[in-house]
Amino acid sequence: MSISYKDFECREIITKAVCGKGRKFSQVAHTVTPPNRPTSILGAWIINHQYEAVRSADGIEVVGTYDINIWYSYNRNSQTDVAKETVSYSELVPLSYLDPKHRASTEEVSADATQEPNCVEANINAAGNGVVVRVEREFEVEMVAETKVCVVVCEGGCDGFGDKEADYGDEYDDLEADLLEDEID
């Protein structure tokens, strides 16, 4: 007996699912003014990064802070000091995928820093009294919400397969589950 499309019964169910995704890479420049006029830059790094995701009309906004530390010499390279400054930022990440039929009242957003803020360049500015720090960062965002999906309902329920069994052969017997989970992540 062959099964035709007419023999299927479909049903809509409501479930939580990923209803929006986005990713954004950005470069920004910050100017830090140390208490002493710098002669040379000995190092620059970023620490204490904290952020959270907030839903906005145009996507997901990542709001956060980090500390910029600049090790520099001054007084004709005879002394050194570290200049510290906390920077606040707001990064709008547009959603490249959005399920238009999701329930807006159930939205939950999250962000993951796929590239933590990192100093890629630090130079003394033209006036000679500040340091321009170029920072790269990248975020991946996700929105989970309730949405409707359509499923096929088997007439006999889950036991409608009778005594039939799925035969996958011997090729999967030697697979190690731990290795497969690592590849998925």
Nearest to 42 by CA among 70, 67, 69, 68: 70
Please indicate, yes or no, if residue 3 is contained in any of the structural domains. no
Give the pLDDT score at 171.
Answer: 59
Rg of the chain taking only CA atoms, in angstroms: 27
Please indicate, yes or no, if residue 144 is contained in any of the structural domains. yes
Report the percentage of the chain scoring pLDDT > 90.
Answer: 71
**Cα dihedral sign for 66, 67, 70, 71?**
negative
pLDDT at 154 over 80: no
Nearest to 109 by CA among 150, 149, 58: 58
Please indicate, yes or no, if residue 185 is contained in any of the structural domains. no
Please indicate, yes or no, if residue 127 is contained in any of the structural domains. yes
- Give me the number of domains the chain comprises: 1
Give the pLDDT score at 167.
Answer: 57
Please indicate, yes or no, if residue 34 is contained in any of the structural domains. yes
Among 24-38, 94-108, 156-170, name the one with the lowest average pLDDT.
156-170
Banded model confidence at residue 185, pLDDT cuts 50, 70, 90? very low
Banded model confidence at residue 151, pLDDT cuts 50, 70, 90? confident
Please indicate, yes or no, if residue 163 is contained in any of the structural domains. no
Which residue is associated with the tokens 């190690």? 176
Mean pLDDT of 15-40: 96
Kindly report the pTM of this predicted structure: 0.75
Give the pLDDT score at 8.
Answer: 73
What angle is formed at CA 111 by the lines to CA 109 and CA 113, rounded to 5 degrees?
180
Rounded to an integer, what distance in angstroms lies between the CA atom of residue 73 and that of residue 36?
A: 9
Please indicate, yes or no, if residue 100 is contained in any of the structural domains. yes
Main-chain phi, psi angles of 11, to 5 degrees = -140, 145
Main-chain phi, psi angles of 183, to 5 degrees = -70, -35
Distance, CA of 80 to chain centre? 37
The whole domain housing 21 covers 14-157
Which residue is associated with the tokens 């570290």? 82
CA distances in angstroms from 153 to 34, 57, 149, listed in the order given: 68, 37, 12
Rounded to an integer, what distance in angstroms lies between the CA atom of residue 19 and that of residue 101?
A: 9
Please indicate, yes or no, if residue 171 is contained in any of the structural domains. no
Give the pLDDT score at 1.
Answer: 47
pLDDT tens digits, 91-130: 999 999 899 989 999 999 999 999 999 999 999 999 999 9
Q: Are 42 and 80 in contact (CB under 8 A)?
A: yes
Q: Which residue has the higher pLDDT, 180 or 121?
A: 121
pLDDT at 162 over 60: no
The secondary structure of 28-54 as a DSSP string is EEEEE--SS-EEEEEEEEEEEEEEEEE
